[in-house]
Structure 1
Amino acid sequence: MTTTTTTAGEQAARDRDLVARYGSPLYVYDLDRVARARADLRAALPDGVTLYYSLKANPHPGLVRALREGPGGCRAEVCSTGELASALEAGHRAESILYSGPGKTAGELAVALAEGVRTFSVESAGDLRRLGAQAVRQGVVAQVLLRVNSAAAAATTSIRMTGTPSQFGIDAETLPGLLPALLDVPGTAVAGAHFFPLSNSKDEESLIAEFTATIEQAANLQSELGLPLRMLDIGGGFAAPYSVPGERPVYPNLRAALEKTLDTRLPRWREGGVEIACESGRHLVGDSGRLLTSVTNVKESRGRTFAILDAGINTLGGMAGLGRLLPLSVDPAFHRTGEPVPVSLAGPLCTPGDLLSRSVRMPPPEPGDVLAVPNTGAYGPTASLLLFLGRPAPVELLLSGGEVVSASRLVTTRTEVV
């Protein structure tokens, strides 16, 4: 893929032009960067590994479609009927989708099964029984991955997702007593195991250690307990910077390390005896996005400068809700000269919690200035307080080859329930 270098001034001019055409706040996603992220991750994984895109990072159907199409296309991992609808809209076949999540209701399981989804990750015995009951009603059999909450953690960094009391997964130490009953739930067939031990691992050593421990534990469950292992989802944990400058990490040693462990513990994987899968969200789309936001007002208050933006926690909430500040940085698209000063960036909402940063150093802002928040392709609008105070959702643009190929806005409506 041919790439061109864009200067800061050229990028600023393009940002201002996009805001003039589409308004702000405005999310801009570059599909070329999405393709590069997928290619890089594919290169870091052994050949034949199934790669799922986790829609929780960004369910925009255009992004989901781009990750599905072309060489090394991703399958879809969803956690709700809304994400399922986005995956189907993007062209995914229902039978290729993995449905996961700790709070699956009987109603949504019925919808997923009716749409043709057949592979589910289950988090508990109750989750499995609910799935089985719905499958029996529809006369089908659901293929099941048992999500395992390991008793110990191998990695020492990143966001821990295992090794502690959790709503996620079946505690590993309980499996010997539970497995016979789990294998005998009508409407289901246990196909393997699902692990997700950590998230956002910038440290390749920790990522390798956790994947190695996962593969070893799955092999032990198969040999010692008789756990069926036609498929093993080893999870994810691939990192990307969020709302700050930085480069998406690469994992040059991961492929060889995974192949070595798989060859030792699950040697049938190369012939397809065990399908190995992993999943990624932020790593695939995080560095594709920029949030453009305009300064609507500037004020001084007791020695502090506040820039009031048209984007707040309703636009870039980062799953945080009220009261948590993001480690946020901005590129001033206006490229104003002047000695940088500390500026508090506040959103447009009528709550003191709508503060994106208390101290971003930037040239003194003025109303009408456009700011750009980098690396916001993941956990943007749908991870924010989008409905709070009823402000319009931001426009979302898709670029390919530098040209706009899609412009859309999420719209919410209230309907009567009967």
Structure 2
Amino acid sequence: MNHFDYVNGTLHAEGVPVTDIAARVGTPFYCYSTATLVRHYTVFAEALAKAGLDATVCFALKANSNVAVVRTLADLGAGADVVSEGELRQALKAGVPADRIVFSGVGKTRRELEFAVAKGIMQINVESEPELELLSQVAAERGVKMPIALRVNPDVDAGTHAKITTGKKENKFGIEWTRAHEVYRKARALPGVEPVAIACHIGSQLTEIEPFSAAFRRVRDLVAMLRADGFDIRHLDLGGGLGVPYDGETPPSPDVYAQAIKAELGDLGCRVVLEPGRVLVGNAGILVSRVVYMKEGSTRTFAIVDAAMNDLVRPAMYEAFHGIDPVTQPAAGAPRQPVDVVGPVCETGDTFAKQCPLPPLAAGDLVVFRTAGAYGAAMSSTYNSRPLVPEVLVDGDRFAVVRARPSFEEMAALESLPDWLE
């Protein structure tokens, strides 16, 4: 569900006409709905509560790290799952309490570990033995015993896109589950870490429940082995990955997801940490763009828009689908024609959709890319020296720019010439 609907023939974001935002902000821009963010978080959290789970919901900032989005979720009670010092700083800036922040990721540097330990975050998810040794050294130098989970790779195929699956043995993430017990014993002997949790995340955009259940069963077996060996395992960090409908998919509902957790792990007496990202913010955002030209090729019609692959890279990177609609509602029964929707970047891969059935479009028309709240702005770049697009947050009948579009002068000021080129 989202709050982007046609009202009197014009697409609205909650109570605000998208045309009004475009007139004020210019295109392209991202637009997020507070009402959708609130609804999605509430549905997710209530599903866990109804299942009787002692759960902490830590929003995965990699999906959308805008400080206003994170603050909106933090005000509802969300913690944060971060994968860099920058995301950790964003979470703290947004008001997420340090004791509700989990730090994940395979390549944490000494600087990042020092910063996380200094801030007293809830937990660091360790993904390798070298990281374990470095973290113990960093924490011991500060006289701290850092609570950790070892991220275990359960060798479970998530059944999702190869570039976003993370739980197979050939993936770079985590510690192979058959070696986990050995590495936990090593952690117990180190002075700066306290192994109190198990972490497991098998991928993103999962549309079936069974891969989750298979991973949970392996986590359960590991809990039994570790407790038999005297480990006080108190937390289970189960990651995220629950999918959203981009193109007619029917992912499991949060209720089904919560019941699967309860069925496999509910009797272990552990606090459960969940790290949803896409499922909270995906449908809460759109990318708004303007048609620059309609171009007739020899075999295809092209709608060339002012958004590009640097603004929304998912179609180019993952062959991902995003629904595309005109901001002006087409008349009932209006004819549609197949159109390739493309951007201005000098790459053939700068294509959002091929042969997309759309009503007649003309230069100057506004279009929206739906379900763009996750991994849209967060993955954007300045390729072709294009400015990052602004982000707008809507709340009822009001809106605010929550990240401004940088000027070309501001972009240029980040660069300098060495003295021999002056």
TM-score bracket for this pair, using the shorter chain length: 0.7 to 0.9
Matching residue of 1:391: 386
Residue 17 (structure 2) pairs with residue 17 (structure 1): no
Q: Distance in 2 between matches of 1:246 and 1:21?
A: 35
Classify 1:157/1:79 alpha carbon distance in 2 versus 1 (closer, same or farther; 3 Å).
Answer: closer
What letter corresponds to residue 264 of structure 2 in structure 1?
T
What letter corresponds to residue 325 of structure 1 in structure 2?
E
Per-residue CA deviation, residues 109-130 of structure 1 (Å, 9 max, x unaligned), is 1222233335200001111112
What letter corresponds to residue 183 of structure 1 in structure 2?
R
Give the secondary-structure state (helix, strand or coil) at the position aligned to 1:222. Answer: helix
Residue 287 (structure 2) pairs with residue 291 (structure 1): yes
Instruction: Give the conservation status (yes or no) of the 8 Å contact 1:56–1:79.
Output: yes
Correspondence for 2:171 among 160, 163, 166: 166
In structure 2, list runs of 5 or more residues that go unmatched. 417-422
- The within-5 A match list for 1:364-375 is 364-375=360-371
Quote the offset at 1:24 in angstroms. 0.7
Residue 213 (structure 2) pairs with residue 230 (structure 1): no
Matching residue of 2:118: 114
Q: Distance in 2 between matches of 1:132 and 1:148?
A: 19
- The within-5 A match list for 1:9-408 is 9-11=9-11, 14-45=17-48, 46-47=51-52, 48-70=54-76, 73-117=77-121, 119-152=123-156, 160-207=165-212, 209-210=213-214, 212-242=216-246, 244=247, 250-264=253-267, 266=268, 269=269, 274-318=270-314, 320-321=316-317, 325-336=319-330, 338-384=334-380, 386-408=381-403
Q: Distance in 1 between matches of 2:390 and 2:379?
A: 15
Structure 1 vs Structure 2 CA RMSD: 2.8
Instruction: Give the conservation status (yes or no) of the 8 Å contact 1:247–1:287.
Output: no
TM-score normalised by L of structure 2: 0.86
What letter corresponds to residue 216 of structure 1 in structure 2?
R
Instruction: Give the conservation status (yes or no) of the 8 Å contact 1:195–1:214.
Output: no
Quote the offset at 1:334 in angstroms. 2.6
What letter corresponds to residue 65 of structure 1 in structure 2?
R
What letter corresponds to residue 132 of structure 2 in structure 1?
L
Give the secondary-structure state (helix, strand or coil) at the position aligned to 2:275. Answer: strand
Q: Distance in 2 between matches of 1:119 and 1:319?
A: 34
Per-residue CA deviation, residues 279-303 of structure 1 (Å, 9 max, x unaligned), is 1000011111111100011111212
Per-residue CA deviation, residues 169-195 of structure 1 (Å, 9 max, x unaligned), is 110112343332222222111111101
Instruction: Give the conservation status (yes or no) of the 8 Å contact 1:151–1:172.
Output: yes
Classify 1:263/1:284 alpha carbon distance in 2 versus 1 (closer, same or farther; 3 Å).
Answer: closer
Instruction: Give the conservation status (yes or no) of the 8 Å contact 2:324–2:369.
Output: yes
Classify 1:182/1:33 alpha carbon distance in 2 versus 1 (closer, same or farther; 3 Å).
Answer: same
Q: Distance in 1 between matches of 2:8 and 2:221?
A: 49
Q: Distance in 1 between matches of 2:71 and 2:369?
A: 25
Per-residue CA deviation, residues 252-272 of structure 1 (Å, 9 max, x unaligned), is 3344443343344x1xx2xxx
Classify 1:225/1:302 alpha carbon distance in 2 versus 1 (closer, same or farther; 3 Å).
Answer: farther
Stretch of structure 1 that moved more, 52-61 or 399-408: 399-408
Per-residue CA deviation, residues 17-49 of structure 1 (Å, 9 max, x unaligned), is 221121111111001111110111112213421
Matching residue of 2:419: none
Q: Distance in 2 between matches of 1:366 and 1:4?
A: 22
Q: Distance in 1 between matches of 2:397 and 2:211?
A: 36
Per-residue CA deviation, residues 54-76 of structure 1 (Å, 9 max, x unaligned), is 00000011111111113xx1111
**Aligned pairs, number:** 401
Q: Distance in 2 between matches of 1:205 and 1:241?
A: 18
Per-residue CA deviation, residues 204-239 of structure 1 (Å, 9 max, x unaligned), is 4544x2364144233233244444302111222211
Instruction: Give the conservation status (yes or no) of the 8 Å contact 1:55–1:78.
Output: yes
Residue 414 (structure 2) pairs with residue 414 (structure 1): yes
Q: Distance in 1 between matches of 2:238 and 2:319?
A: 32
Stretch of structure 1 that moved more, 180-189 or 278-287: 180-189
Quote the offset at 1:249 in angstroms. 5.5
Q: Distance in 1 between matches of 2:4 and 2:287?
A: 21
Classify 1:399/1:245 alpha carbon distance in 2 versus 1 (closer, same or farther; 3 Å).
Answer: farther
Give the secondary-structure state (helix, strand or coil) at the position aligned to 2:314. Answer: coil
Q: Distance in 2 between matches of 1:179 and 1:118?
A: 19
Q: Distance in 1 between matches of 2:28 and 2:136?
A: 45
Q: Distance in 2 between matches of 1:166 and 1:227?
A: 27
Stretch of structure 1 that moved more, 342-351 or 287-296: 342-351
Classify 1:246/1:372 alpha carbon distance in 2 versus 1 (closer, same or farther; 3 Å).
Answer: farther
Give the secondary-structure state (helix, strand or coil) at the position aligned to 1:132. Answer: helix
Q: Distance in 2 between matches of 1:156 and 1:325?
A: 16
Instruction: Give the conservation status (yes or no) of the 8 Å contact 1:151–1:173.
Output: no
Give the secondary-structure state (helix, strand or coil) at the position aligned to 1:280. Answer: coil
Instruction: Give the conservation status (yes or no) of the 8 Å contact 1:329–1:360.
Output: no
In structure 1, list runs of 5 or more residues that go unmatched. none
Quote the offset at 1:198 in angstroms. 3.5
Q: Distance in 2 between matches of 1:24 and 1:247?
A: 32
Quote the offset at 1:201 in angstroms. 2.2
Per-residue CA deviation, residues 312-364 of structure 1 (Å, 9 max, x unaligned), is 1111112854xx53323211113355521111111121222211122211123
Identity percentage of aligned residues = 30
